[in-house]
Amino acid sequence: MLPESDAAPSPPAPENLQFTGQGGDYFRIWIVNLLLSILTLGIYSAWAKVRRMQYFYRNTQLAGASFDYHGDPIAILKGRFIAIGLLLAYNWSPQVSMQLFGITLLLLLAIMPWLLRQSFRFRLHNSSYRGLRFRFSGPLGTAYKVFLLHGFFALITLYIAAPLFHQRLKKYQHNHSHYGQSAFSFDARVSQFYGAYAMVIVLFVGMMISIIGAGAYAGYQAAKLAKEGGVPADPTAVMGVMVVVIGAFFVGMLLITPLWQSRLQNLIWNNTRLGEHRFRSEMAAWPLLGIYLSNFLLVLLTLGFYKPWADVRLARYRASTITLLPASDLDQFVAAQEQAMSATGEEAAEFFDFDIGL
């Protein structure tokens, strides 16, 4: 009998994502670029954005190598002009006529899926790791189906269908992403999204009921007191109640958001694969809440200038929660065919950089 072949070699060890940036370093880069941006009335902001992306990409390390960002500032600048044009049209058309606003809104909805697909393509094409580029190949038709069909459906069902929309969106994004010749895949089901959203929705509804209830009660008491005293209701008191209600809402959102983000990130990345390699995400709501709260207070206290440190802290925590579980040697990835051509930029020129943060 031939000796049994060795058992399959044990897979390589898990690789944790690491962020090595420092707030002090990033502050210096950030403030110099900010000054140049304001002196050039915003034009330089495209170069500032490229630097920011490069700082965060290059300080993200995985298995001994770092990521890189190759976005062209001119392409970003073009995209920003278009974004400003759209924003102005959206803001000023209601001043002209409601019909124009309606038309503008419809136009924006019509091109939104295209813009978002472009932003996925731009972002991935300009990202690389170990010299190999990422790529997005999602068809345009599916983008329209996901955003207009599912997005609209989510809206008209008062967000009851939002988890469905989110699952479809992530499926579209991850199933059509590539690294070199390898493909990402996504296998989380809609029911899992509903599970992740459940607690968040319960908390959100509870928060809304308590805030609106408390606000209404306070308003009613104030009106009653005024009526009994024979004095017209003090507008300051009403305004005060409104300010407190709105403030309580934003504080509530600040508390619920980390729960939502951590559950969703874990669900999405635990069910994403690159070829045979898996990911593990262990983001926890409490540490994230701590970071958000302290960032919020420090940004408030410093009138916004703490932001570079805040961004670095968040990036450091986010990276630390993601681990790659390699199924085989990470040296085996191969570049996709079109990468052999040098990036001439003509393909890149038609991309827009449009950050949707989903």
Partner 1 sequence: MLSAKYFDGRSSRPQAVTLSVLNHCLLVRGDELECLVSADEIALSERLGAAPRTLRLPDGSFCEIADPAALEPLLRQLGHTDSWVDRAQRSWAYAGVALLLFIASCAAAYVWGLPWAAQQTAQRLPSEVLEILSAQTLEFLDDHLLETSQLDLPRQRELQAGFDALIKPQGALPYRILFRAGGALGANALALPDGRIVLLDELVKLADNDEQIHAVLGHELGHVYHRHGLRMLVQSTLVGAVSTWWFGDTSALLVAAPTVLLNAQYSRQLESEADAYGAALLRANQLTTARLGEMLKKLMEAHGMGSSGKSGGQRRWLDYLASHPAPQERIQALMGPAVAHPPPSEAAP
Residues 89-108 that bind partner 1 (CB under 8 A): 91-92, 95-98
Exactly one of 11, 31, 217, 286 binds partner 1 (CB under 8 A); that residue is 31
Exactly one of 11, 65, 187, 210 binds partner 1 (CB under 8 A); that residue is 65
Q: How far is the CB of 177 from partner 1 (least distance, A)?
A: 16
# of chain residues touching partner 1 (CB under 8 A):
66
User: In DSSP terms, which residues pair with 129 in a beta bridge?
Assistant: 67, 132
How far is it, in rounded angstroms, from Cα 7 to Cα 22? Answer: 44
Q: How far is the CB of 227 from partner 1 (least distance, A)?
A: 16
CA-to-CA dists, residue 103 to 92, 93, 100, 217, 348, angstroms: 13, 9, 5, 41, 30
Q: Which stretch binds partner 1 (CB under 8 A): 8-16, 17-25, 135-143, 283-291?
A: 17-25
Exactly one of 3, 229, 230, 232 binds partner 1 (CB under 8 A); that residue is 232
Q: Quick count: other Cβ atoms within 10 Å of Cβ 55?
A: 20
Q: How far is the CB of 2 from partner 1 (least distance, A)?
A: 33
Q: Which residues of 146-163 are buried (b: 16+ CB within 10 A; e: fewer)?
A: bbeebbeebeeeeeebbb
Residue 191 has, within 13 A of its CA and on its CB side, a CA count of 0
Return the number of the residue (26 or 193) whose C-beta is nearest partner 1: 26
How far is it, in rounded angstroms, from Cα 135 to Cα 177? Answer: 6
Strands across the sheet with 65-69, in order? 15-16, 322-325, 277-281, 272-274, 182-186, 177-179, 132-136, 127-129, 65-69, 60-62, 18-19
Return the number of the residue (190 or 237) whose C-beta is nearest partner 1: 237
How far is it, in rounded angstroms, from Cα 274 to Cα 124? Answer: 14
Determine if 261 is a binding residue for partner 1 (CB under 8 A). no
**Residue with token string 């960032």:** 295
Residues 234-253 that bind partner 1 (CB under 8 A): 234-236, 246-247, 250-251, 253
Q: Which stretch binds partner 1 (CB under 8 A): 165-173, 219-227, 268-276, 330-338?
A: 330-338
Q: How far is the CB of 236 from partner 1 (least distance, A)?
A: 7
For residues 63 and 330, the answer to whether their CB atoms sit within 8 Å is: yes
Q: How far is the CB of 154 from partner 1 (least distance, A)?
A: 20
Determine if 299 is a binding residue for partner 1 (CB under 8 A). yes
Determine if 26 is a binding residue for partner 1 (CB under 8 A). yes
Q: Quick count: other Cβ atoms within 10 Å of Cβ 233?
A: 15
Determine if 35 is a binding residue for partner 1 (CB under 8 A). yes
Helices 45-58 and 73-96: crossing angle in degrees, nearest 10, is 120
Per-residue interface string for the shown chain with partner 1, residues 180-219, x marking contact by CB under 8 A: x---------------------------------------
User: In DSSP terms, which residues pair with 274 in a beta bridge?
Assistant: 184, 277
Determine if 155 is a binding residue for partner 1 (CB under 8 A). no
Exactly one of 76, 112, 118, 129 binds partner 1 (CB under 8 A); that residue is 129
Residues 300-319 that bind partner 1 (CB under 8 A): 300, 304-305, 307, 310-311
**Residue with token string 């209601």:** 94
Q: Minimal CA–CA distance to 315: which of 10, 67, 13?
A: 67
DSSP characters over 116-133: HHHHHHHHHHTEEETTEE
Return the number of the residue (164 or 255) whose C-beta is nearest partner 1: 255
- Site residues (vs partner 1, CB under 8 A): 20-22, 25-29, 31-36, 38-39, 51, 54-55, 58-59, 64-66, 68, 87-88, 91-92, 95-98, 129-132, 180, 232, 234-236, 246-247, 250-251, 253-254, 295-296, 299-300, 304-305, 307, 310-311, 330-335, 339-340, 342
